[in-house]
Each structure stands twice: as structure tokens, then as C-alpha cells.
Structure 1
Amino acid sequence: MVPDNRGDDTVLEEEFQDVLSTVPLTERDALIIAMYEDGLSTYEISEELELNRHTISKVLKENRIETRTIADYHKLKHSDIEELFNKGKTKHEIAKELGLTYYTVRKVLEDRGLILNKKDRETVAISRYIQMKNKGYDNEYIAIFLDISEKQLNKLIRNSGVNVSSVRNRTKNIEVLPEIILQKLRGLTNRQIALKYRIDLVLVREILYEFGLSQKQF
């Protein structure tokens, strides 16, 4: 018999991993693994699921998922994703066609500037919230419209850094607040936005300043 020189700690670790392999994955852990295997980094997964990066790494290690180097990410079908998106395919359709997760497709499109990233989406959501509040809708209805819970809506407002009351006062007579924010995020200048929507330039600057999208020049 060949002697086992691995040491007690190594043997115990392998036995522990064997036991873990028989334990069913939780829904969270299964999602983490699926997202990682589809190309997202531990950082991207932690941001998407709002979990600590160490938690992500621990789940991968416990399930014997081999981690990647930076070079491995170049193997993803980024060009294929962009090509299909430009042909009019939805993110879900692209994910299905390329055998990727929705999260991977969305991240690639965000990185290439083809869709809004998470921070920008939240900024637009705040603008929609303000406009709907100005129209008299309550938070319950707005949350349903934004497809989030009231708790998530309250957290979004709290963490946005936007002075909601101030913006509401400035935009009572403006029907295109979300469009103004979107156009700014897409690269239009303050002057172009003012001309496009026939709004005073100073007011445009004031609104965008509240959203952190313009310097204070008034």
C-alpha cells in the first residue's frame, strides 16, 4: 500500500468537500455559479446580487469551481452579443441564442455603452418617481410601475443623493423629466436639451445639477 503523505488537514479538507458535493445547492449559490460560469467576474456578481465578494469566492471554492484569470474573459462572445443586439434582438433572446445568462448579456451591452448601466438606470428611475409623484401617484403604484417593491423604492430614493423635494418643486410643470435625464446620460449637452424640449437653459442646469449630471453654473 502506498503511504498517504498528504497530512491530516488535507485529508479532512477533501473529505469535507466530498460531503459538500452531496448537499443540494441553494437557489442563491446556484445563481452565483451559473453567473460565474457564464463569464461574470466575482466583482460583477457581487454588485448584481448585492453580496460581499468574499461570499461569492467562498461559494465558488466550496463548490470546486475553477476561477478564471483576466485573460479568460476575452473568450466571451462579446462581438456576437453586440451584433445580435444591433439586429434588434432582446437581451433575453441573445442570452438564449448564445447560451449565456441574461446578466452576462446585459453587462457586455452596458460596458459597450449600448444600454444604461445600473447606476444610470437608477438615476432614470428616480426621475420617473419624481414625475409620477408630481402627477399625484402614491409610492405603492409607482413601485408597481417601476417593477420593484416599495422597500426597494424607498431604498432607491434614500441612496440616490437626489434632493427629491427640490427637484419636484422645479419640475412641477415639466412633463419630460425622465427624457431630460436620459438625453443627458446619452451625451446631449445642457444647451441641446434646453433647445430640444424648449426649456430654459438655467432650469435644465439646475435640474441636472440635482442629479449630479451638471456642474453648478448658476
Structure 2
Amino acid sequence: MTRRALVVRGGWEGHSPREATDLFIPFLRDQGFEVRVTEDVEVYADADVMAGTDLVLQCVTMAQISGEAVAGLRAAVEAGTGLAGWHGGIADSFRSSSDYLQLVGGQFASHPGKPVGERAGGAADNFLPHTIELTDLGREHEITRGLDDVALVTEQYWVLHDDLIDVLATTTHPARDDQPWHRPVTSPAVWTRRWGAGRVFVATPGHAVDVLAEPTIRTIVERGLLWASRTA
């Protein structure tokens, strides 16, 4: 039986939602998914569409959404539709909706940048060298099993989260003299979440297409998409 994936993309253009999702659409098709693409988040309010969707790949940074659409997404995931995404496209979506935040389990708070004296005034001011480190669970989980820690130079997400998530990888923000926090802070970088009969997958790396194309990150996302998809 053909599985159906719904790619929902849009929001802030700085995360290249079209180009980023286009990187994974061929993979989904190769895995046997029939893929529908939309830039209208209100599709989540269409109960018939959502009931026939096995996987939602969402890449919508910030943006607005109606209460009806959030309710539709929550109901679909609870009934078994998978929800997956990366970076701001899932962890910094619909900031005004607490119901959405509860569904995902983690919310972007910041991406600390370079010290002021090292900034040149461009996007790269927010790019820091850091490592995505697998947890003990991550070394056993099917999404990340057999992979190694990965070093990146890109935005390093600081995430507020709850303890219903299963953390597969973390990243640690160091304590610096020019910052107001007083000890290193470890944030989840890859996590899964069970919600009713559904599954949620989030990876925080993915600011730009080159980050998503990094072999380990790409593998994590591809495996995460398959893991999140409806299983029955």
C-alpha cells in the first residue's frame, strides 16, 4: 500500500524552505511515498487530508496558524500521522500556539553568536563551531545507531524542552565571560516523541541546505522521516 507524505513548507525565507525540503522529496519518493507539497498550513484543518497522511514533513519557520489547524495537526498525530522536521521549520514554528509547542516538545530559544568583537555584521555572526553528540540512547536507537558525533559550524540551537522527549543527541553551549549564563548548558539536538499513536521527530541542525547535506545530518533526517511515518 502506498504511503502518503505531506510536505508543508513556508514561513521565514532565511531557512530556504523550498530548497531544503526539495533535498528530501526524492528520498521519500524512492521510499515509496506519494508526496504532496503545500505552502498552506491550514491544510492541517482538513480532516480528510490528514487522515490519509502517513507523514508530515514540516518546514515552516515562525509564521501564523489558526487554532483549527493546530487542533487538526494534533488530532492527526494522536491518531498515527507522523510529524518530522528540522531546525526552525519545526522547533521555531507558530510561536504563539502553546498547543503546537506541547505537541513538538521543544522550542527554539536562542542561537548564541560569536563574541561581539568577532562579529562582521552578517549571518555568519551566528555560526559557531560545536558538536552534535549522541546520547547512550542515540547510540542504540534505529535513527542514529552506527553514526558518530558530528562537528558543525552553523547555528547552535538552545532549546527549551520537557521530559517527554527521548533525546538521541545533544549539543553543549559553553559558559563564556561575555555571556550571562554561568555554566555550560546542554540542549537536545535530536529527539523523538510519542504522541498517542503518532511519532514526532526533530533535528535542530539544518539552518541551511549545506548543513542538511552533511552526510551524518542527512542520514539522521532520512532515518527520522521513516521512523516518524505511520507504522500501522
- Do they fold alike, i.e. is TM over 0.5? no
Q: Greater relative contact order (Cα 8 A, min sep 6): structure 1 or 2?
A: 2
**TM-score when scaled to structure 2?**
0.23
User: Which has more radius of gyration?
Assistant: 1
Judging by fraction of residues, say which structure has more helix.
1
